[in-house]
Amino acid sequence: MNYTTYQKTDIESIIELFHTTFANSEGEAEGKVLGAFAREMMETTPEQDLQVFVAKDGEKIVGSVMFSTLTLESDKTAKLLSPMAVSTEVQGKGIGQALINHALSILKSQGVDIAVTYGDPNFYSKVGFAQISEEVIKAPLPLSFPEGWLGQSLNGEGLEAISGESGCVPALNNPELW
């Protein structure tokens, strides 16, 4: 398995991966929503605010995770993990964790201070995320599932509370995703 940064020629395969994976796990309607969301992330996010990582088995993309800028009222920098998918046929083999660990090591080397995500604590706790309160980092939109607001420090320091609002990229600025 090869863990790498996407290329523009991968975009349609990545959209198809999100569509199919979520259609399999949560039904066709959710598959369409996630396919459209993945497309919007890649088409509308300014280049400096989006990093897309893929797991490739030969030429086939079997996993993808996106990190976008979360703006803070602080000199600390943060990236938000969303969305993520590993192809149904190869789930449960460690690919998702390896892909996130690859991405986090690159973000660390770029000097990013904090990673956050909004998802299943049971999965994301395996790659260093822990539940955080909004007193530590305010979510950019109201959370329907506050237990899913997760973060980790990437700079070797503890996660200190950061006061003020946070802001996400336009594709994530949709209350239905939160």
Stretch of residues binding ligand COA (CB under 6 A), selected from 5-13, 87-95, 138-146, 155-163: 87-95
**120 touching ligand COA, by CB under 6 A:** yes
Q: Which residue in the set 85, 104, 107, 154 belongs to the binding site for ligand COA (CB under 6 A)?
A: 85
Closer Cβ to ligand COA, 22 or 162, answer by number? 22
Beta strands in the chain (DSSP E): 2-5, 50-57, 60-72, 78-86, 114-118, 130-131, 149-153, 166-167
Stretch of residues binding ligand COA (CB under 6 A), selected from 89-97, 108-116, 138-146, 167-175: 89-97
**101 touching ligand COA, by CB under 6 A:** no
Binding-site string for ligand COA from residue 5 to residue 34, where x marks contact by CB under 6 A and - marks none: ----------------xx--x---------
Q: What is the 3-state secondary structure (H, E, C) of 78-127?
A: EEEEEEEEECHHHCCCCHHHHHHHHHHHHHHHCCCCEEEEECCHHHHHHH
Q: What is the sign of the dihedral through the CA atoms of 173, 158, 97 and 1?
A: positive
Question: Distance between the two ends of the chain, CA-based, in angstroms?
Answer: 32
User: Token pair for residue 129?
Assistant: 């995320």
Q: Which residue in the set 95, 107, 159, 169 belongs to the binding site for ligand COA (CB under 6 A)?
A: 95
Q: State the Cα–Cα distance between residues 113 and 121, nearest whole angstrom.
A: 20
Q: Which residue in the set 13, 71, 77, 91 belongs to the binding site for ligand COA (CB under 6 A)?
A: 91
Q: What are the residues binding ligand COA (CB under 6 A)?
A: 21-22, 25, 84-86, 91-97, 119-120, 122-123, 126
